[in-house]
Structure 1
Amino acid sequence: MDHHKVLIVGGGNAGISLAARLLRDGADDVAIVESESVHRYRPMLNYVGGGEATMADLERPAATVMPKDATWIRDRVVSCDPAAPSVITRGGRTITCTTLVVATGLEEDWAATPGLREAYAAGWAGSTFLVESAPKVWPALRDLTSGRVVFSMPPEPAPCAATALKPLFMACDHWQRAGVLQDLDVHLVLPGPTPIGVAEGDAVLEDALTAYGVRVLRDARVTAVGERQVTVRSGSSTVVLDDLAYAHVIPSYRAPQWVAESDLAGSTEAGLVDVDPQTLRHRRHGAVWSLGDVADLGIKPSGGALRKQVAVLSPNILATDGDRLQHYDGYTVMPITVARHQLLLVEVDREGRPAPTIPVPDLVRPRRLTWAVDRYALPQVYFRRILRGRV
């Protein structure tokens, strides 16, 4: 039986950046369970789907980003005993630990949208949120000159749901420049009454949707996908959009099954880890912590939120008796392009109040500079600093 002082389940942004920060803060014997051999900067998948990046821009061998002083367990967790705490891996290993951190992220809930997987396989639907699908999205969108197109935002919880608007706006800008936008019938399915639920950002986004002539279905979600058609439920009514040229439909998300079926989960339908949203400690198991998309933090998850979560969680894990635990204020960020090279950045706290990282300029106003930072600077910061626990 293996034992580690700190065991982190998940080797994405959350797991690696936390492990690196813990080691820099003086922890020893930190282990990460991660089966993937390739690490990806997932926010750039939207740029792949918008024709602005390639998969090579966002992928690195996992061995090059794992903290060198951490133990990498190349396996996948299939069950957990949070009271021990311990986990069992797909390879049959039982691993115990003093401190357990759940940083798995979310997984697709295919059962929530029957027919969606088959539509991806057929090629007339896709999603920039999926590694296998993202490279196929832009070739499909780029060459459209007429017909009906549907885009959707996933309901929460989802990995930075607001960025699902990026492919929509980048495609509309392309079609407008190509002189074919007026021949396309573009629809957007929103899970809420407005795009992101933040007044300042919504005002900009609604203006852009109007300018591009996008038809918006509000308080709606895609419930089924058929042959070149999607079924949308909006309130008590059902709308069928058929004869589709393309559908950029994002699947629903939920916690991994082993999380949802264990005592880690709370009462959420998606099976999120039941933590105190301020300290990130599990409400019933004091040796268990969680961060990122899989944690029930009362926010709209985003990769940018992890910077603040890691800064709180590392000292909290290392705190000794009598130390006051630090609190996470619920900061999250939503970067959204409204044209190919124009991006707005919405930063809010848990209550939805503005929480800008810098006071000026106003980053909610779309700017080319903000787009350039999001597209080119942040990936470098991610690989060179965030994953090394330096941000």
Structure 2
Amino acid sequence: MEHHAVLIVGGGNAGISLAARLLRDGARDVAVVESESVHRYRPLLNYVGGGEATMATLERPAASVMPHGCTWIHDEVVSVDPDAPSVAMRDGRRITCDTLVICTGLEEDWDTTPGLAESYAAGWAGSTFIVETAPLVWPALRDLTAGRVVFAMPAEPAPCSATALKPLFMACDHWRQTGVLKDMDVHLVLPDRSPIGVPKADRILEQALESYGVHVLRNARVTSLDDRRVTITTPDGTHALDGIAYAHVIPQYRAPRWIVEGGLSGRTGAGLVDVDSYTLQHPRHPAVWSLGDVADLGIKPSGGALRKQVVVLSHNILAAGTTTFQRYDGYTVMPITVARHRLMLVEVNRVGRSEPSLPLLDLVRPRRATWWVDRYALPQVYFRRILRGKV
């Protein structure tokens, strides 16, 4: 039976960054389970959907980002035994380990929104969060000169849900520049009362929404799509918007089902991995750890949050059995464009208190320089340093 000292399930940002950091910190025999052959820098998908990037700019062969000295298990987990600990693979193998790390990310739950998959297939709905439709979003939005458009933010859990606002603001800025914004009927469906729940940032976002003439539905969810109709449920009842030219609606998300079936999930209905939100260790299975979107950390997940999680988790795995654990403070970051070339960077801890990486510079204030860093600098940092465990 195959055995590894550390087995990481998931080869996205979290898994590759952690594997590289563990190896740099002195770990031996680290393996990563990842079924995909292509690795993607997912934050750029929003820029693909805004016409400012191509898929080629965010994709690399998975083999090229696997850390040197790491074993790549090119397969998929179908079940887990947290007591062993071990995982069963789709090809029938069972792999045991001393330490199991789960960072699979989340899966789309298409069934929770009737008609969504069919609307994607018909071409009048899509989103930048889905790899297959991200390249189709900008051609659909760019060519509109009038009509009704719906954008919706997904409810938590979701992979950096705040960035769902990026396509809306980039499209509205484009329509304003081309002189057709006055003929567009733009609607935004928010799952909560405010856009992101950070007062200072929300004030700026609300001003931007008002300036573009966006109709905002609050505490609302898209509950179905059918024949260019979007049905939205709010505390006041159910509303239908007809004659939709395009709907940027993101599926709801959940953890892989084998996490729930293996007894690793916690208090959320989406089946997230139960962990101590400070140490990232499972409370009932000390050999199991988790980070990223699939971990129940009580924060809004983001790629920026992973940078701190990786440092803490690498240390804690190697310090297991001692009392020298580091603690993750819940830092996360939400980069949101308010125009095609202006971006705000919202950095907070787990209780929503501001935690700026550059205290002397107000990064919440939208700037062109911050947009440039998000669009051009961070992808280079990601592939050259973050995935190599150097950040």
TM-score tier, shorter chain, comes to over 0.9
Matched residue SS, 1:101: strand
Residue 120 of structure 2 is matched in structure 1 by: 120
Residue 68 of structure 2 is matched in structure 1 by: 68
The whole-number CA distance in structure 1 between the counterparts of 2:341 and 2:360 is: 20
Residue 378 of structure 2 is matched in structure 1 by: 378
Listed one character per residue, the Cα deviations across residues 68-120 of structure 1 (whole Å, up to 9, x for unaligned) are 10000000000001111000011111000000000000010111101101100
The whole-number CA distance in structure 2 between the counterparts of 1:12 and 1:101 is: 13
AA at the equivalent of 2:255: A
Residues 1:302 and 2:302 are matched in the alignment: yes
Residue 87 of structure 1 is matched in structure 2 by: 87
The whole-number CA distance in structure 1 between the counterparts of 2:131 and 2:345 is: 24
Residue 146 of structure 2 is matched in structure 1 by: 146
AA at the equivalent of 2:164: A
The whole-number CA distance in structure 2 between the counterparts of 1:294 and 1:183 is: 41
Residue 267 of structure 1 is matched in structure 2 by: 267
AA at the equivalent of 2:93: R
Residue 7 of structure 1 is matched in structure 2 by: 7
Listed one character per residue, the Cα deviations across residues 330-356 of structure 1 (whole Å, up to 9, x for unaligned) are 000000000000000000000000000
Matched residue SS, 1:75: coil
Residues 1:58 and 2:27 are matched in the alignment: no
Residue 341 of structure 1 is matched in structure 2 by: 341
Structure 1 runs of 4+ off > 6 angstroms? none
The whole-number CA distance in structure 1 between the counterparts of 2:55 and 2:196 is: 27
Cα displacement (A) at 1:236: 4.2
Residue 289 of structure 2 is matched in structure 1 by: 289
Cα displacement (A) at 1:186: 0.1
Listed one character per residue, the Cα deviations across residues 175-196 of structure 1 (whole Å, up to 9, x for unaligned) are 0000000001000000000000
RMSD of equivalent CA atoms: 0.6
The whole-number CA distance in structure 1 between the counterparts of 2:320 and 2:104 is: 26
Residue 247 of structure 2 is matched in structure 1 by: 247
Residue 359 of structure 2 is matched in structure 1 by: 359
The whole-number CA distance in structure 2 between the counterparts of 1:126 and 1:115 is: 12
The whole-number CA distance in structure 2 between the counterparts of 1:255 and 1:236 is: 30
- More moved, 297-306 vs 262-271: 262-271
The whole-number CA distance in structure 2 between the counterparts of 1:133 and 1:388 is: 29
AA at the equivalent of 1:290: S
Question: If the length of structure 1 is used for normalisation, what is the TM-score?
Answer: 0.99
AA at the equivalent of 1:362: D
Residue 326 of structure 2 is matched in structure 1 by: 326
The whole-number CA distance in structure 1 between the counterparts of 2:111 and 2:162 is: 22
Matched residue SS, 2:79: strand
Matched residue SS, 1:100: strand
Residues 1:350 and 2:350 are matched in the alignment: yes
Residues 1:40 and 2:33 are matched in the alignment: no
- More moved, 144-153 vs 319-328: 319-328
Matches within 5 A, 1:106-255: 106-255=106-255
Matched residue SS, 2:292: coil
Name stretches of at least 5 consecutive residues in structure 1 with no aligned partner.
none
The whole-number CA distance in structure 1 between the counterparts of 2:93 and 2:229 is: 45
Residues paired across the two proteins, number: 391
Residue 98 of structure 1 is matched in structure 2 by: 98
| Identical residues among aligned pairs (%) | 74
Cα displacement (A) at 1:263: 0.8
The whole-number CA distance in structure 2 between the counterparts of 1:127 and 1:320 is: 41
Question: If the length of structure 2 is used for normalisation, what is the TM-score?
Answer: 0.99
Listed one character per residue, the Cα deviations across residues 139-195 of structure 1 (whole Å, up to 9, x for unaligned) are 000000111000000000000000000000000000000000000100000000000
Matched residue SS, 2:31: strand
Cα displacement (A) at 1:321: 3.0
Listed one character per residue, the Cα deviations across residues 322-379 of structure 1 (whole Å, up to 9, x for unaligned) are 3321100000000000000000000000000000011121000000000000000000
Matched residue SS, 2:19: helix
AA at the equivalent of 2:204: V
Cα displacement (A) at 1:20: 0.2
The whole-number CA distance in structure 2 between the counterparts of 1:97 and 1:209 is: 50
The whole-number CA distance in structure 2 between the counterparts of 1:280 and 1:356 is: 23
Listed one character per residue, the Cα deviations across residues 227-277 of structure 1 (whole Å, up to 9, x for unaligned) are 101111111411111110000001100101111222111121000000000
The whole-number CA distance in structure 2 between the counterparts of 1:246 and 1:193 is: 24
Cα displacement (A) at 1:320: 4.6
The whole-number CA distance in structure 1 between the counterparts of 2:375 and 2:270 is: 31
Q: Structure 1's 320 and 288: CA in aligned 2 closer, same or farther, altered over 3 A?
A: closer
The whole-number CA distance in structure 1 between the counterparts of 2:320 and 2:216 is: 52
